[in-house]
Amino acid sequence: MSSFLRQKLDIINNYYICIMALATQIRNRITQLPDGKTFGYDDLRIAKKEYTTAAKALERLQKSGLIKKVSKGVFYKPEQTVFGELTPDYSEMLRPYLFENGKRIAYETGTTLYNRLGLTTQMAFRTKIASRSKRININRGALKADAVKSYAEVTDSNYVILGLLDAFKDIKRIPDSSTGQAIRRLSAILKELDTKQTESLVKYALVYPPRVRALVGAVLQNNGYQGKGLEKLKDSLNPLTSIKLGLKESELPTKSNWYIE
């Protein structure tokens, strides 16, 4: 055998060895994932230069039944029960769209979120996905979502706070809930926040519209909060502009301090 042919065979052998090694790594990582969890290339720690090879390995794993495909680049390991095979729940199916390169870039908002917060009993046919850097629209079977722009860059440490501020912003549009009812529920939620979370709430409220700043300030003050952030919120408001929400004083006793009617 000529040295040229030997070199070619060595290259081919090394290529297949690399493919098999990557396929083994992928299988091992998948077996460590919990059943029902969605995952993508980032979760498997696959380098972009290996995507083509990885795609072939993942295709073989699909054929073997170990994994199933949700959408392009998104898979899950089906959970087997006595009642048959379970698919991931809605939130888990949505999860891959909320992250990019392992970092959170988006969060659920709108009626879907407000239902989870106990602000409404209604369910949404389509959810809303808030992101600062990307428009995320989804229309895949039962998974449907519309993109909205978030008021700040979304991170794992602030998305819960941004969701609460969205509720204040949409307080007059939360289905099956009066403004007074929503205030009572949000007031109870804010009482459960720790000091760091409350400071974060005030910080991000400052980038929201005036009605959000006023409502957050009024609710925090009514809850007995005395942090320095209240002064910042108050100073950000125009005292000559009334915020008309139709709230009774019994529903929010501090409302007049924050130019709310």
pLDDT digits (tens, 9 = 90+) for 118-150: 999 998 888 999 999 899 998 877 788 999 999
pLDDT tens, residue by residue, 47-89: 788 888 888 888 888 888 888 888 778 888 888 777 777 777 7
Predicted TM-score of the model (pTM): 0.80
* 41, two tokens: 């290339």
SS3 category, 189:
helix
Residue 10 pLDDT = 45
For the purposes of burial, counting CB atoms within 10 Å of the CB of 164, is it exposed (0-12), middle (13-18) or buried (19 or more)?
A: buried
H/E stretch holding 182: helix 179-191
Question: Once rounded to an integer, what is the mean pLDDT over residues 189-199?
Answer: 96
Closest CA to 92 of 134, 143, 40, 37: 37
Q: Place 3 in a pLDDT band, splitting at 50, 70 and 90.
A: low
Q: Is the per-residue pLDDT at 5 higher than 80?
A: no
Query: For residue 130, with 0-12 CB atoms within 10 Å meaning exposed, 13-18 middle and 19 or more buried, which class applies?
Result: buried
CATH class of the domain comprising 3-86: mainly alpha
Task: Write down the domain spans for the chain.
Answer: 3-86, 89-174, 178-261
Dist. CA 187–CA 54, nearest whole Å: 49
**Range 216-226 average pLDDT:** 96
